Amino acid sequence: MTFALHGLAVSHGIAIGRAHLISHATLEVEHYLLPERHVGEELARFDQAVAGVRTELDALMAHADPGAPAELTAFIDLYRMLLTDPLLTEATRALIRQQRCNAEWALVQQMEQIVAQFEQIEDEYLRERKADVVQVVERVLKMLMGRPGHPPAHAQGEHLIVVAHDLSPADAIQFKQWKIGGFVTDLGGATSHTAIVARSLAIPAVVGLHHARHLIYEDDMLIVDGARGVLIVDPDADVLEEYRRRKRALEAARAKLKRLKKAPAVTLDGVDIALAANIELPGDVAQVQAVNASGIGLFRTEFLFLNRDGMPGEEEQYAAYRGVVEAMAGNIVVIRTLDIGADKSPRGVDIARTGPNPALGQRAIRYCLAEPRLFLTQLRAILRASAHGPVRLLVPMLAHAHEIAQTLAMIEQAKAQLRERGQPFNAALEIGGMIEIPAAALALGVFLEKLDFLSIGTNDLIQYTLAIDRADETVAHLYDPLHPAVLRLIAHTIQAGARAGVPVAVCGEMAGDPQFTRLLLGMGLRIFSMHPAQIPEVKREVLRSNRAGLRRKVARLLALDDPVALRRRLARLNAAAD
């Protein structure tokens, strides 16, 4: 039966394919008794599932992305070890024999006993290893249920649609290995980091569907309309053909945009515009080069810290940063210091530190200043990478003058430590600050005086200006990039930077949305940074724009308080010939 679900459109495009459900298998285990004569078959089925997971892990290791965190190998080795642990496997086999029960139920019973033992351990790190046991059991259960932990080989690729209740940014990052067609989730907001990763992968995605995970079955035919925020389940032949036609038209339009790759990003009145790229992992550099980006305007280093326990050391970070800098061959690389908290919390971080409201708690620079050893480790790694090419260091979530002073003091301390070691770095490394808190945008004096450049993070600036948690689907409809207050804060920052001779970039999601390109150009913006997949469309808008003419029109738009009138004026601005 055909039906449609409506959610939030977070990554444009159309995906057509079969559903692959990601679930917590431990919640779906049945319990039934077996005739004595079938116990041997059940033991063999369990052994086969364990062997299947072992093969799955071997394949994961063989096809690991070179840019993936170095601890991936350690995780896989740990999972292999757990699969051979008699406390998990032999004890489960004993339960199957003694109670003549199905393998799934026996495995969960044994897992619960092991987890209970871990709960008694005083050491927090060791206590948290229970999560590794649960993850291994999940993999075995899915194999027993005929749902492997990764997409089946025949389903991988553009014909696979991942369906989940929720996905973390770390989960979404793993999609880079799968090369899936699209994904949908019950939870999530339009600018959650999971949605941002979807856009970086240039795959259609819809979030906030509420009940998709329970209404969809494995292998259902799905259509994901990432522009309209619609998921169609079991479409009939006419609907399927119509969406295939739309998909072909979209692909043809994207193919035309590729012709702009080597064209310089220059407005009709001759103003050079920098179109830089945002990346999450070193392996993303290939995408940056594929669209001929002017550089990397935002390297989100926190993704090096996800999908692992503990923090990466200085040498590992240095190798990652250096690899990106060298690959960019002389183009600027802006490396942002660790921005964790809110919806990005590595397993190695003390969760208690995030507080009752993580978005307003000890995140980003607040966390780094509270953990000087961790911060100095990253600062040394970034400084060392600056010896290999043009690097700029960007500090997130600054709001106070004392935060700037403390950060600059720690950078000087890191430089002193490197001098003692005799390790090279660029002593003139430029330091910038993120403008993503209204207080920073309204009190720019100290930022313009102490820092070399600014970068506006529109995602958080909108969140904090409008008092909306952008990961909360219940208020997602109130998230509005075109709110007059938001637009005035952005314009004020760009114009203040221009008067002071301090470069200002926009690196939030607004920079990569072509409907805002001409608006931002009219505010005076000359440096955009976005996910690589978004650059061709934004470049097209730059090439058809007259910046001088736009400035007068945008000034009139910024004076409007009526949201309806403002949107109407923006539509006319985008429809104009220049």
Handedness of CA 347, 349, 352, 357 (dihedral sign): negative
pLDDT of 26: 53
pLDDT of 353: 44
75 pLDDT above the threshold of 80 = no
- Taking only the tens place, the pLDDT of each residue in 364-407 is 999 999 999 999 999 999 999 999 999 999 999 999 999 999 99
134 pLDDT above the threshold of 90 = no
Number of helices (H), then strands (E), in the chain: 23, 16
495 pLDDT above the threshold of 50 = yes
- Residue ranges and CATH numbers for the domains of the chain are 3-23+151-255 (3.50.30.10), 26-144 (1.10.274.10), 261-547 (3.20.20.60)
253 pLDDT above the threshold of 50 = yes
pLDDT of 123: 59
User: For residue 142, which phi and psi values (nearest 5 degrees)?
Assistant: -65, -35
Q: Please identify which of the residues 165, 368, 507, 531 carries the catalytic annotation.
A: 507
Please classify residue 510 by burial: count the beta carbons closer than 10 Å to its beta carbon, then call 0-12 exposed, 13-18 middle and 19+ buried: buried
pLDDT of 156: 46
Amino acid at 144: L
191 contacts 359 by C-beta, under 8 angstroms: no
Please classify residue 371 by burial: count the beta carbons closer than 10 Å to its beta carbon, then call 0-12 exposed, 13-18 middle and 19+ buried: middle
% residues pLDDT > 70 (the chain)? 84
Q: Please identify which of the residues 193, 368, 388, 531 carries the catalytic annotation.
A: 193
578 against 568, higher pLDDT: 568
Residue 158 pLDDT grade (very low, low, confident, very high; cuts 50, 70, 90): low
Packing angle, helices 103-119 and 39-62, rounded to 10 = 60
pLDDT of 132: 74
pLDDT of 179: 67
Could you tell me where the DSSP H helices lie in 120-192?
124-127, 130-144, 169-178
Residue 138 pLDDT grade (very low, low, confident, very high; cuts 50, 70, 90): confident
**What gap in Å lies between CA 200 and CA 261, rounded to an integer?**
18
72 pLDDT above the threshold of 80 = no
Q: Could you tell me whether strands 182-185 and 160-164 are parallel, antiparallel, or unpaired per DSSP bridges?
A: parallel
**What gap in Å lies between CA 554 and CA 564, rounded to an integer?**
16
> What's the pTM?
0.73
155 against 187, higher pLDDT: 187
Task: Please tell me the least confidently modeled range out of 9-18, 161-170, 262-271.
Answer: 161-170
59 pLDDT above the threshold of 90 = no
Task: Please tell me the least confidently modeled range out of 165-169, 251-255, 274-278.
Answer: 165-169
Task: Please tell me the least confidently modeled range out of 104-118, 186-200, 331-345, 510-524.
Answer: 186-200
Kindly provide the residue ranges of all beta strands, DSSP E only, lying in 422-490, ordered along the sequence: 430-435, 453-456
Average pLDDT, the chain: 87
- Taking only the tens place, the pLDDT of each residue in 415-455 is 999 999 999 999 999 999 999 999 999 999 999 999 999 99
Residue 354 pLDDT grade (very low, low, confident, very high; cuts 50, 70, 90): very low
**What gap in Å lies between CA 531 and CA 40, rounded to an integer?**
54
Annotated active-site residue 507? The verdict is yes
pLDDT of 79: 79
462 pLDDT above the threshold of 80 = yes
Please classify residue 83 by burial: count the beta carbons closer than 10 Å to its beta carbon, then call 0-12 exposed, 13-18 middle and 19+ buried: middle
Q: In the β-sheet with 182-185, what is the strand arrangement from edge to edge?
A: 3-6, 230-233, 221-225, 14-22, 160-164, 182-185, 205-207, 8-11
Annotated active-site residue 531? The verdict is no
Residue 352 pLDDT grade (very low, low, confident, very high; cuts 50, 70, 90): very low
